[in-house]
Structure 1
Amino acid sequence: MMNKIKTLVVAFLLISFASFAQSNDQAPKFGYTNVEYILLQMPESKQIESELKTHSAQLENSLKQKYAEYESKLQAYEKGAATMDKVVREDKEKELMNLNNSIQEFQRNAQASLQQKEKALVDPVIARIDKAIKEVAKESGYTYVISNQALLAGPEDGDISPLVLKKLGVDPAKAQQTPEPAAAKPAAAPATSKSTKKKN
C-alpha cells in the first residue's frame, strides 16, 4: 500500500507558506516533515491497509475462479481436439480466446479498481495532514516546510512531525520509528504457460 502512497503525496515534497507575521528583515524559518510517516502513525492507516487487503483478496479470488475455468476448458479442449468436428473445435477455440481476453481485461480493471479504492481512502487523510502541517507552520512561524525525503541535513528542532502528530491527535511518543508496512498487492493471475493452438 505505502509504495503507491508515495505517488499520492508527491505534492507534499515542497510545501511553502507565506509568513505575513515576519518582517522583511527576518530570515526565513525552515521546517521539515514526512507525510508518509505521519500517515502511518494515524489510526486510519491500519483501517486503510485492512480495507485494501480485503478488496485485493476479493479481486484475486474472482481472478482465480476465471483462471480455473480457463484451465479446465483448455485441458478438455486439448484432450478432445483431435477427434472434434471442425465446427466444434473452432467454437471451443473461440471460447478459450474469449476467456483469455476476459482474464486480461479483468486484471487491468482490478488494478484500476484497487488504485481508485486506495485513492478514495487515502485522499481524505492526506487532506487532514495537509491542513495540520499548514496550521503548525503558521502557529510556529515556519516560512517553509519541506519533505525530509528531500533533506540532506538539518537540525533536529526543524522536524515538525511531532507537532503535526499532536495537531492530528496522535501521541508522538507512541509513534513508530521506522514503519515499514506490508504493501497491498494487486490481484494477479499466474502466468499462463499453455496457449490455444488451432489444429487443422
Structure 2
Amino acid sequence: MMNKIKTLVAAFLLISFATFAQSNDQPLKIGYTNVEYILLQMPESKQIESELKTHSTQLEAQLKTKYADYEAKLQAYEKGAATMDKVVRDDKEKELMNLNNSIQEFQRSAQASLQQKEKSLVDPVIAKIDKAIKEVRVENGYTYIISNQALLAGPEDGDISPIVLKKLGVDPAKAQQTPEPAASKPAATTTPAKTTTKKKNK
C-alpha cells in the first residue's frame, strides 16, 4: 500500500518555490526536502495504510464471491452442456458471459474506488506538509525549497527535512532512522486477478 501512496505523493510534485522577487542584496539560499519521506515518517501514514488495507480487503472479498459464483456456474455448465437443450445451453452461456462482464466491471470499479480512497486520505496530509514546508522557508530565510529528487548535489545543511518534521510534531532523530528515498519509483498497481475466459462446449 505504501508504494501506492509514494506514487500519489510524487504525482503532486509539491515543490514549494517562493513567488517573491529576489532583491540584489539578498543572498540566494536554497533548501531541499522530500515530501514522500516526510509523509512516511508521520503517524498519519500508518493510519492511511491501515484504512487502505481494510478497504482493499473488502473489495477483494466481494470479488472472490463473484468469481466463486462464476466458477460454480461454469463448472455446472461444462458438466451438463452436452445433454442440454440448445435453448437452455444458450441461456447458460449468456448468463456466464454476463457474469464474466460483471466481474471485469467490478475490477475496474474497485481499482477506481481504491484510488479515490487513497487520494481522500493522502490529500489532507500533503496539504499539511506543504504548509509546513512553506513556513520553514519563511522562518529560515530560504529563497527556494526544492525536491531532493531534482537535486544532483548539494550541502547536507541544505536538507530541511528535520526542521519540517519537527514543525509537524515528529521527532527528527527517530525519523532519520528510516533512509530517505532519493527518488520515487512507479508503484506496482494492485489489480485483482483476471477472470477465466469461459469455455463453451457445443
Fold agreement, TM-score > 0.5: yes
Name the count of aligned residue pairs. 195
Amino acid at match of 1:171: D
SS of equivalent to 1:197: coil
Shift of 1:13: 5.2
Amino acid at match of 1:189: A
Change beyond 3 A, Cα 1:156–1:179: closer
Gaps of 5+ in 1: none
Deviations 1:159-198 (A, max 9, x none): 0000000110100011142279xx8974512552x52326
Does the alignment pair 1:165 with 2:165? yes
Q: Which residue of 2 aligns with 1:71?
A: 71
Q: In 1, are the aligned partners of 2:31 and 2:146 still within 8 Å (CA)?
A: yes
Deviations 1:90-125 (A, max 9, x none): 110000000000000000000000000000000000
Q: Which residue of 1 aligns with 2:184?
A: none
TM-score (norm 2): 0.89
Q: In 1, are the aligned partners of 2:8 and 2:119 still within 8 Å (CA)?
A: no
Correspondence list, 1:76-87, <5 A: 76-87=76-87
Q: Which residue of 2 aligns with 1:29?
A: 29
Change beyond 3 A, Cα 1:178–1:191: farther
Amino acid at match of 1:14: I
Amino acid at match of 2:113: S
Does the alignment pair 1:197 with 2:192? no
Q: Which residue of 2 aligns with 1:188?
A: 192
Shift of 1:76: 0.3
Q: Which residue of 2 aligns with 1:4?
A: 4
Does the alignment pair 1:15 with 2:13? no
Deviations 1:120-171 (A, max 9, x none): 0000000000000000000001111111111111111100000000110100
| Alpha-carbon distance in 2 for matches of 1:185, 1:63 | 17
Deviations 1:70-107 (A, max 9, x none): 11100000000010011110110000000000000000
Identity of aligned residues (%): 76
Change beyond 3 A, Cα 1:103–1:139: same
Amino acid at match of 1:197: K
Correspondence list, 1:1-200, <5 A: 1-5=1-5, 6-12=7-13, 14-18=15-19, 23-175=23-175, 176-178=177-179, 186=190, 188-192=192-196, 194-197=197-200, 199=202
Q: Could you tell which deviates more after superposition, 171-180 or 92-101? A: 171-180
Q: CA RMSD in A?
A: 2.1
| Alpha-carbon distance in 1 for matches of 2:195, 2:154 | 48
Gaps of 5+ in 2: 182-186
Change beyond 3 A, Cα 1:179–1:85: farther
